[in-house]
Structure 1
Amino acid sequence: MDLSTVLALNAQRHPEKIAVIFGERQYTYEAFNDEVNRVANALIEKGYKKGSKVAIFMKNSDYFMIVFYGIARAGCVAVPVNFRLTAIETEYILSQSEADLVIGDEISEALLETVNATLTKSVPIVSVPQSQSGENTSWEQFLSSSVVQPNIHVSILDDAEILYTSGTTGYPKGALFHHQAIINVSTAFTLISQFSRQDVTICMAPMFHSAQLNLINNTAIAAGMTCIVHRDFNPVQVLEDIERYKVTTLFGVPAMYNAILNVPNNNQYDLSSLRACFYGAAPMAPKLINDAIALFGTDQFYNLCGLTEAGPGGTYLTPEEHAEKIGAGGKSMPLLIARVVNDDMEDVKPGETGEFVLKGETIMKEYYRKPEETQKTFRDGWLMTGDLATVDEDGFITIVDRKKDMIISGGENVYSVEVEQVLNSHPQILEAATIGLPDEKWGETVTAVLVPKPNEKIDEEALLTYCRERIAGYKVPRQILYVDVLPRNTSGKILKYQLRDAFMKEG
């Protein structure tokens, strides 16, 4: 069964149930399904075919969800793009994904026009809800008048979405998924979460992220739940809406929980409707977990530890397991096998460190148009995550480091090589390394360790401006440190763990 059929069935089962709330706009399942049909029919009427790539470049909204399901219903492939990216980064993704159309919101229109001017082949732009340029199409101009479900056969093995995740080469890689894999993600998460029609959830993490999109949104729609969509994360608004809509489930990255805990008088809100809270995308300190349990009045907290290429999928820690294993990643999610192995693909012994690998029914098909990267990522059917982990005597897996030197700051993945490419291009810098240092608010803070060129004194504000022009804001270093020389091994590779250890001891 494909993604849009799951929605259509719920529109038949309970047409008057509220599916989506965004501000003052509300949609029943029947009305939401009708709007999805208008998008799907618009794509078909304008000549887009099965397999056509449609990029989504917007903040969270009801429109995002309508567009995503409309793309799926037309048999096209959704390409959600991080709206925080610069024009250079966006141009690469639109080109690499072979996007045939991009649907963005008003605030992204100017950037998308800048990108279009650099593309070898320009991409039509639909601006939601209203175009500010005569060159592009507004939402109502784009939509079809027909709410009839289009007669397009979508196979469970047809491509459904490409989710971009930064690579160690500095260029993003598009994880390609077919419909069955995404349905499997929802099936697996339903077994974990026990989502049901009676549940209400808040969508507060960005929808271009696989956790919010595939784990939460798609599972919630499949279960017939109500989704309260927040355009931007606002901790006060989250508390207000939990009380107002009697929200029962919540997903957030640790930085979001930290922000909620720091809202003045947060204990004055009625949060008694919450039955389950999920966290992931970055390590969450035990104290932060316990403080959140105290505020929300429930100990039903789940740790989700996975990666985009797995759907997302990986391991999870149940509320009961938090009592003794708080801080651990957990055990395999349903429909997945998680292991920690040595270089010979043998399971490591308890206490030893090895690579975290996955195999199962939620794994991506490939990295789109990157056969060499795909080949390197799979070994005998196992997804080689590049993450280093340990396993204890009870079989609980914990991620301890990353071969790829990825930094997770505020739930966003930041790859050190990508930042270093920008830093090393600066005329005053001899060489640079990027590391993540522990941060109470962000989980990790992006830290640049620099070796200036001889007789150069770096203007840090100018350097940060230089970075912001080339990479997204969340990738820009929040801390700049200096050394005379970067530590390297005999092969010439920078020993970043030595830098982390040294600066953590100093800090």
Structure 2
Amino acid sequence: MHIGGFLAQNARNFPERFAMECEGRTYNYEEFNRSVNRLAHGLVSLGIQKGEKIAIFMKNSDYFMISFFAAAKIGAVVVPVNFRLTADEVHYIFRQSNTVLVISDSEFEETVTKAKDRTNVQNIIITKSAVLEDNLSYESVLSSIEDEPDIEISGEDDLEILYTSGTTGRPKGALFDHDRVFKVSLTMLVNMELKKDERFLHLAPLFHSAQLNLFMIAGVILGGSHYIHRDFHPVKALEAIQEHKITHLFAVPAMYNFMLQVPNVTDFDLSSIRRCGYGAAPMPPELVRKSMAAFKTDQFFNLCGLTEAGPGGIYLDPEGHKHHLGKSGKAGFLTEARVVYENGENISPGAVGEFILRGETIMKEYYKKPEETKAALKSGWLYTGDLATVDEEGYITLVDRKKDMIISGGENVYSAEVEVILYEHPAILDAAIIGLPDEVWGEAVSAVIVLKEDAQIEEEELISFCRQKLAGYKVPRRIFIEKQLPRNASGKILKYQLRQKMNELVNGK
């Protein structure tokens, strides 16, 4: 069955079941499905054909979910776009993906209209009233037809182009069909034992593959209830868990960190939570422990995957957290994982190699990038570009990106190992380790930190703290204090920006 078909099936099987809520707008499954069909027929009336690309440029909302399933039901290919990007960055994605129609929030109308120039975009739909000439309002596109679109769709038809984070350069579009996306969702249903009565709180952006495929789509397939926040606010998130009896929470580590900073976090009733997932960026063990205490549950899952796998990869379940906290985990359902040397052989325990994946959820290709596809997909395996270790029990731990590994005095330094230690210091809220050019050492291990409110620390104190826990060559030689660290929408720190900024500071530019 195709992805839109699951929604239609749920609308027939349990029409009155609560489906979703956003900013006071509520839908049961019959209402949700009717809204999707009205938009689907409206898109067809605009000339959208099966296989054409529709970009969604929105914050989290019911409109996002309706737009996604409407496109899926007519066989269009959805291109979720990070709404934080500039017009030039958006232009690149529109053009590279061959997008022909954009559905956007009203606050981004100027950005998407500017990005449309010299692309194949023919129409822009604005969720409220369109201001700029030639753009269409969402309501004006809706059809009065509420029946299912009469378009044949198979599991092999393309569904999504998910653009990578772009932490090291121009993002690449990972192409997925309906069958692959269904299997991505299926891995979560199995690995996390999700149930039909789940209440999902959507905090992380829906344009990101984790929130979209792992939980939004999986939750709709289950017939679960969805509570959607357009923007993340830690207090409102805690209030929503308490009010709506949320059972399933996924958040990036920075979100957990912010929720823990709420002064009266222990006053909220969070007992409805059955399980918590985290991912998209490393979560320090100390932050995991504090989060378990705050949410009063040890049912935490480390979801360590990447966009090109759906996202998929490895995960650390609650049992693994008891004895292997800080490790990334083992391969989940429908997935194989290895860590290999340059020659493709499995590494020995304790060595460092490249993390590779194989399974039913891996992308078809990088859209219109045959050379990059060939470099990433080799003999059925996805070469991730992540460096990792494996212990005697087979638990894998990601330690760095290949491009972020630091070589100082001939020794390899993996940033994750040092960052874990920094997070143990009570004054540090956020931290990143980067390498900066050094005449003596080649690269100098450098720490960029954000302090907790009202906290202070001397450079020598922090260096001394690290020396007690790390080999000398791993200890940061330079400390930089910033108000915040640059991150992309999935929570990953943009280390290339930090390297550029700190290098300019060192050189007095």
TM-score normalised by the shorter chain: which range applies? 0.7 to 0.9
Q: Structure 2 CA distance, aligned partners of 1:448 and 1:401?
A: 12
Which amino acid is 2:265 matched to?
A: N
Structure 2 unmatched runs, 5+: 407-414, 439-481
Structure 2: how far apart are the matches of 1:353 and 1:267?
Answer: 40
Report the CA distance between 1:375 and its aligned residue.
Answer: 0.5
Deviations 1:200-234 (CA, angstroms, capped at 9, x unpaired)? 01000001110000001011111111010000001
Structure 2 residue 217 is the aligned partner of structure 1 residue 196 = no
Q: Give the letter aligned to residue 101 of structure 1.
A: L
Query: Which letter maps to 2:141?
Result: F
2: CA distance, partners of 1:29 / 1:170: 41
The 3 A distance-change label for structure 1 pair 168 and 303 is closer
For 1:179-218, what aligned pairs fall within 5 Å after superposition?
179-218=178-217
Question: What's the counterpart of residue 495 of structure 1?
Answer: none
Q: Which residue of 1 aligns with 2:87?
A: 87
Deviations 1:97-132 (A, max 9, x none): 00010010011001112222x325453110012212
Shift of 1:481: 2.4
Percentage of matched positions with identical amino acids:
49
Partner Cα separation in structure 2 for residue 127 and residue 167 of structure 1: 26
Matches within 5 A, 1:135-214: 135-166=134-165, 170-214=169-213
Q: Residues of 2 paired with 1:55 and 1:38: CA distance?
A: 18
Distance 1:325 1:482 in 2: 36
Q: Secondary structure at the match of 1:172?
A: coil
Match of 2:306 in 1: 307
Query: Equivalences for 1:360-379 in 2 at 5 Å?
Result: 360-379=359-378
Deviation at 1:447, TM superposition (A): 6.6
Counterparts in 2 of 1:472 and 1:297: CA distance versus 1, 3 Å: closer
> Equivalent residue for 1:390?
389
Query: Alpha carbons of 1:175 and 1:444: their partners in 2 closer, same or farther (altered >3 Å)?
Result: farther
| 1:3 alignment counterpart | 3
**Cα distance, 1:357 vs. partner?**
0.3
User: In structure 1, how many angstroms separate the alpha carbons of the residues matched to 2:272 and 2:323?
Assistant: 26
What is the aligned partner in structure 2 of residue 422 from structure 1?
none
Output the amino acid matched with 1:266. Answer: V
Residue 461 of structure 1 aligns with which residue? none
Of 466, 481, 484 in structure 1, the residue corresponding to residue 502 of structure 2 is 481
Counterpart CA distance in 2 for 1:448 and 1:354 is 20
SS in 1 for 2:164: strand
Q: Which residue of 2 aligns with 1:322?
A: 321
Cα distance change on mapping 1:234 and 1:169 into 2, 3 Å: closer
Q: Distance in 2 between matches of 1:446 and 1:141?
A: 50
Change over 3 Å in CA distance of 1:448–1:107 after alignment to 2: farther
Q: Are residues 1:279 and 2:305 paired?
A: no
**What does 1:445-484 correspond to in 2, within 5 Å?**
445=432, 475=494, 477=497, 480-482=501-503
* Cα distance between partner residues in 2 of 1:121 and 1:246: 44
CA-to-aligned-CA distance 1:413-454 (integer Å, 9 cap, x gap): xxxxxxxxxxxxxxxxxxxxxx99947577654979589xxx
Q: Which runs of 5+ in 1 are unaligned?
A: 408-434, 452-463, 487-507
User: How much does 1:134 deviate?
Assistant: 3.0
Alignment of structure 1 residues 246-261 onto 2, 5 Å: 246-261=245-260
Q: Whole-Å Cα distance in 2 between the matches of residues 309 and 443 of structure 1? A: 27
How much is the aligned-residue C-alpha RMSD, in angstroms? 2.6
Pair 485,277 (structure 1): closer, same or farther in 2 beyond 3 Å: closer
User: Is the 1:55–1:99 contact (alpha carbons within 8 Å) kept by the matching residues of 2?
Assistant: yes
Partner deviation per Cα, 1:230-287 (whole Å, 9 max, x = no partner): 0000110111011100001100011000000001111111111111000011111111
User: 1:300·1:319 contact (CA, 8 Å) conserved in 2?
Assistant: yes
Amino acid at match of 2:66: I
Structure 2 Cα separation of the partners of residues 371 and 400 of structure 1:
28
Letter in 2 for 1:308: T
Q: Distance in 2 between matches of 1:305 and 1:481?
A: 29
**Distance of 1:448 and 1:89 partners within structure 2:** 27
Structure-2 separation of matches of 1:484 and 1:64: 41
Query: 1:77 corresponds to which residue?
Result: 77
Shift, 1:169, TM fit: 6.7
Shift of 1:12: 1.3
**2:14 aligned residue:** 14
Q: What do the CA deviations read for 1:133-153 (whole angstroms, capped 9, x no partner)?
A: 232100111111111101111
Secondary structure of 2:201's partner? Answer: strand
Structure 1 pair 122–191 and aligned structure 2 pair: CA distance change class (3 A)? closer
C-alpha separation between the residues in 1 aligned to 2:402 and 2:490?
A: 23
- Report the CA distance between 1:484 and its aligned residue: 11
Alpha-carbon distance in structure 2 between the residues aligned to 1:170 and 1:358: 22
Task: State the TM-score, normalized to the length of structure 1.
Answer: 0.82
> CA, structure 1 residues 402+477, in 2 after alignment: closer, same or farther (shift >3 Å)?
closer
Q: Distance in 2 between the 1:484 and 1:291 partners?
A: 34
Residues in 1 aligned to 2:364 and 2:241: alpha-carbon distance in whole angstroms = 37
* SS in structure 1 of the partner of residue 15 of structure 2: coil
Q: CA separation in 2, counterparts of 1:4 and 1:122?
A: 24
2:399 aligned partner, one-letter code: V
How far off its partner does 1:406 sit?
A: 9.4
Q: Is the 8 A contact 2:404 2:434 kept in 1?
A: no
Q: Which residue of 1 aligns with 2:400?
A: 401
One-letter code aligned to 2:24: E
Give the match's secondary structure for 1:270.
coil
d(CA) in 2 for partners of 1:36, 1:484: 52
Instruction: Count residues with an aligned counterpart.
Output: 441
Residue number in structure 2 paired with 1:51: 51
- Secondary structure of 1:84's aligned partner: coil
Name the structure 1 match of 2:125: 126
Within 2, Cα distance between the matches of 1:102 and 1:133? 14
